Amino acid sequence: MSTGIHILLIEDDIKIMNFMSMALKAKGYRLTTANTGNSGILSFCTENPDIVLLDLGLPDKDGVEIITEIRKVSQIPILIVSAREQEKDKIIALDAGANDYVTKPFAMGEFLARVRVMERFTEHGDLTSPQKIFRFEYLTVDCDIRRIFIDETEIHLTPIEYKLLMLLIVNHGKVVTHSQISKEVWGYGETGDSKSIRVFMAGLRRKIEKDSSHPQFITTELGVGYRFIEK
């Protein structure tokens, strides 16, 4: 699946660009690189990539601006690479339209996994043909009949818990922000009741995880949102 996918990498630090390119090429991706924001946008317009990898700390242009400009014309998956650790910057970028993020310094495995998830959101990704039955290890989710099974035992979720689980599963591997959850599950604007989100999420986790202290499926991205693990 990786072969032939065209990635646009916008990163100003040469060494980091080097090892990212090495790793991505080794996985079979086609690569275009740019080391400034403006040249990155130019490349986006001319090279027509499938995925954009964007560093937030570019010297000439604010990362969020670039995201906004790209989003005006395209729904291309954008993975941001941020050195800034503050959740606020990540949330702003995600709300502006980025799909997921990796925080520097990152391990290669994590980075490549996130890129792989982005493949699903490209035009040719498998998101366009929605699945009916999801199977993750011991967890089976049947969307048609709305039933969930752990091993062979059925478990019962409340309507909200079901919506939460579906939102996470559809986006599995990608982070789902609090505001996304608020909007999709409760239909609120940006600010939902943040307490409820956390309470319901913890409740859902306790129901579907065999050991909620070492969760296999739902991981917490503190201050940002949650992620259903891609296995």
Partner 1 sequence: MKTNKLNRMNNSKKLKFEMQVKYLICAIVICGISTCLSILLYGMGIGKENTLMIFLVGVLAITVLTKGYLYGFIASVTSLLMFNYFFTEPLHSFAISEVQDFILIALFMLASLICGTMSSNFQRQTEISKQNERTAQLLYNISESFLNLTGVPSIVKNGINYIYEYTGYPCSATLDNSKFDIKEISFTTSDYVADEYKKNKQFTLPIKGIANIFGTITLANVKYPLSDENDMLIKTVVYQMALVLDREFIYNERGRIKLAMESEHLKSTLLRSISHDIRTPLTGIIGASSLILDSYESLDGYSIKKLVSDINEESAWLFHSVQNILDMTRISEGQLIVKKEFEAVDDLINQAVTHVPLLTTTDRLHVVMPEDILLVEIDGRLMVQVLVNLLDNAYKYAGNDSMVELKAFRENEYVVFEVSDNGLGIDEAIKNSLFDGFITLPRNIVDSSRGVGLGLTICKAIVDAHGGKITASNKTDGGAVFRIKLPYDK
Q: Does 84 bind partner 1 (CB under 8 A)?
A: no
Which span sits near partner 1 by CB under 8 A: 89-97, 136-144, 162-170, 216-224? 216-224
Q: How far is the CB of 211 from partner 1 (least distance, A)?
A: 8
Region of 158 please: left (phi>0), alpha (psi -120 to 50) or beta. beta
Which span sits near partner 1 by CB under 8 A: 33-41, 74-82, 161-169, 191-199? 191-199
CB-nearer residue toward partner 1: 2 or 103 = 103
Q: How far is the CB of 101 from partner 1 (least distance, A)?
A: 15
- Residue given tokens 């495995």 in the structure block: 109
Given candidates 1, 45, 133, 199, which one binds partner 1 under the rule CB under 8 A? 199
CB atoms within 10 A of CB 41: 19
Which span sits near partner 1 by CB under 8 A: 16-24, 112-120, 163-171, 208-216? 208-216
Q: Does 85 bind partner 1 (CB under 8 A)?
A: yes
CB-nearer residue toward partner 1: 113 or 143 = 113
Q: Does 57 bind partner 1 (CB under 8 A)?
A: no
- Give just the sign of the alpha carbon dihedral 122, 106, 98, 18: negative
Angle between helices 63-73 and 37-47 (to 10 degrees): 20
CA–CA separation, 220 and 225 (whole Å): 7
Q: Does 22 bind partner 1 (CB under 8 A)?
A: no
Contact predicate 192/225, CB 8 Å: no
Distances (CA, A) of 89 to 50, 136, 195, 219: 25, 32, 21, 20
Count of positions on this chain that bind partner 1 (CB under 8 A): 21
